[in-house]
Amino acid sequence: MKNYELLVDRIAKASGLERAEVERKIEAKKAKLSGLISKEGAAQIISAELGISFEDEDLKVAELIGGLRKVNVVGKIMNIFPVREFEKNDRKGKVANFILADDSGSTRVVLWDTNHIAMIEDELIKVGDVVEIKNGSTRDSEIHLSSFGELKKSSVEMAEVKNAPAASEVGLDEVRQGMSVKARGIVVQVFQPRFYSVCPTCNKKGMLGDDGVFKCAEHGVVEKKDRAILNFVLDDGVESIRVVMFSDQIKLLIPEEDLSDEVKAAAFRDDLLGTEIYLSGRVNRNQLFNNLEIVANSVEKVDVEALIETLNA
């Protein structure tokens, strides 16, 4: 749990306590709250109780946890998403997102201020730029920047970055909404794959009209392409959770077109059932069933022989 370890190190250094004492306090707090929070959450509470603030320090992406009010981060922009307009409670506005990375991991930055959004629209900041963020706040693992925050280009050179979410290696009983996690467990249930249709050009969902013609909002009448969704249940011996896999991740286990073949799909499900896997992904809340699930971004079968060699090394 790299981000947890970094957080403990910072608390120990700032408080003058031995690391073992900090961890004892964290475990005691977690036990007092009946395990309802993760270790990172308990560490955050302990840091507040000790009067420790990281507001004047630059944090690594891997050290970000939900609920921080004044976050300072330096990182490289890896991807910028289109600016979106929204309307809420008769108020119109814009929101922009980009992916920020440093040598510890990556995270999403959400911009709500028109001046910050204009920097993207006017290309004052772009992919590849290193930027400084001051006075941001965190919601789960994301950084949100309002008009009280600062965003500017940095003179810092950042050659090597880790363009992957900073994930916590946790037990399934510790997962919380918004976390990027790594987990290991056994597949105990596999559901029938489902399919949906997208535009072959932009991969966005289209609509089948009453005339039977498939249309994309951006590209008009197109020949639809079917994409798959696969759900299974992962169990780590303590807790179980539903996992959702989309086409790009499914391809890591089986050619997507094979799922349309009943015989091949059934054989795949039988083979996957009971398999031990490593999984990384983001924890979301399923709005229909109001339960947590992991949207997978990487799935890998456990190589038992390689694992035994590692343990014996």
Residue 126 maps to which CATH number? 2.40.50.140
Whether residue 18 sits in one domain with residue 60: no
- Residue range of the domain that includes 67: 53-166
Is residue 64 within 8 Å of residue 107, measured between CB atoms? yes
Whether residue 62 sits in one domain with residue 14: no
Whether residue 45 sits in one domain with residue 59: no
Whether residue 258 sits in one domain with residue 134: no
* Domain tally, the chain: 3
Gap between the Cα atoms of 13 and 9, Å rounded:
6
Gap between the Cα atoms of 70 and 141, Å rounded:
14
Segments in 214-254 forming alpha helices (H): 247-250
Whether residue 231 sits in one domain with residue 264: yes
Q: What is the pLDDT of residue 311?
A: 53
Whether residue 187 sits in one domain with residue 255: yes
Interval 46-72: pLDDT, tens: 888 888 776 667 888 877 766 677 889
Q: What is the pLDDT of residue 149?
A: 93
Gap between the Cα atoms of 46 and 39, Å rounded:
10
- pTM for the whole structure: 0.56
At 1, the pLDDT band (50, 70, 90 cuts) reads very low
Q: What is the pLDDT of residue 35?
A: 63
Whether residue 3 sits in one domain with residue 100: no
Answer whether residue 183 is part of any domain.
yes
The crossing angle, in degrees rounded to 10, of helices 39-49 and 2-15 is: 10
Whether residue 255 sits in one domain with residue 125: no
Whether residue 174 sits in one domain with residue 144: no
Flag whether pLDDT at 144 surpasses 90: yes
Whether residue 308 sits in one domain with residue 255: yes
pLDDT over 90 percentage in the chain: 30
Return the bridge partners of 88, or none. Answer: 91
Whether residue 153 sits in one domain with residue 176: no
Interval 157-213: pLDDT, tens: 888 887 766 666 778 888 877 777 888 899 999 999 988 888 888 777 888 888 888
DSSP strands (E only) in the chain: 71-80, 84-88, 91-102, 105-111, 130-139, 142-145, 150-153, 168-169, 180-190, 194-198, 207-208, 214-216, 220-221, 225-235, 240-246, 276-286, 291-301
Whether residue 62 sits in one domain with residue 160: yes
